[in-house]
Amino acid sequence: MVTGGGRGIGAAIASALEDHGARVTILGRNTSPVACDVTDPEAVAQAFAGIGHVDILVNNAGQSVSAPFVKTGIELWRQMLAVNLDGTYLCTRVALPHMLSAGWGRIINIASTAGLAGFKYVSAYCAAKHGVIGLTRALALEVAAKGVTVNAVCPGFTDTDMLKQAVANIVEKTGASAEEARAELAALNSQGRLIRPAEVAAAVALLCLPGGEGINGQAITI
């Protein structure tokens, strides 16, 4: 199961896992084969019940909205935590019992470099992604001897629709060109370039394939 798998990083992950022989279900709010709001506990439970057991769960559904901290109201704060952190918790809670009974499972949480460091104007998003990494590390220890691994993959700025929104915000607020805005964001990545969704997908596949079982509780930066 890949949540938020209809486009961008999620679509690349679904494609990569299918290439390796997995039977993939995409869960999404609107356009995916299985429509579900991952912030709704009942909707999540119903979606999983209709699909059956999940052996690999990729918690990719996420959202980023930027605002200065003093303009980050309680609704925005709760929205960022609900989509990015609560959704990860809710889907994991439903999928994990089967993995434990089967003695095998892979949970990969798509976090962000914002879960490892701070970035201006996205304090709520950073807080949520830090929470995802904390959840990853704690749960990984809890299930370490039970055949289940839990890891986080933390992309830097990636060439997706979410990045286009960030570029548009920079253009609107600063008057910079789109090219200048993209270059500004790319410069924040250690290699000075935007990440491709396929690169994130390759890391996810590695964690699921034979040989990846020794990797547990990690936050892997892409």
Chain segment 127-158, per-residue pLDDT in tens: 999 999 999 999 999 999 999 999 999 999 99
Picking from 138, 141, 179, 186, the residue whose alpha carbon sits closest to that of residue 159 is 186
pLDDT at 33: 77
Pick left, alpha or beta for residue 121 (phi over 0 → left; psi -120 to 50 → alpha; otherwise beta): left
- Least confident range of 62-66, 159-163, 182-186: 159-163
pLDDT at 31: 60
Q: Which of 14, 83, 109, 125 is catalytic?
A: 125
pLDDT at 164: 87
Tell me the Cα Rg of the chain.
17
Give CATH for domain 2-156+197-221.
3.40.50.720
Identify the band that residue 169 occupies on the pLDDT scale cut at 50, 70 and 90. Answer: confident
Picking from 179, 201, 65, 208, the residue whose alpha carbon sits closest to that of residue 124 is 65
Average pLDDT rounded to a whole number, residues 172-185? 91
* Amino acid present at 197: P
Q: Calculate what percentage of the chain has a pLDDT beyond 90.
A: 86
The SS3 assignment for 212 reads coil
- Name the residue ranges covered by the structural domains of the chain: 2-156+197-221, 159-194
The predicted model scores a pTM of 0.94
pLDDT at 26: 95
* 125 is known as an active-site residue: yes
Identify the band that residue 74 occupies on the pLDDT scale cut at 50, 70 and 90. Answer: very high
Instruction: Provide the mean pLDDT of the chain.
Output: 95
The pLDDT tens digits of the residues spanning 5-44 come to 989 999 999 999 999 999 999 998 876 778 899 999 999 9
Tell me the H-state helices in 68-186: 74-81, 87-102, 123-143, 161-174, 178-186
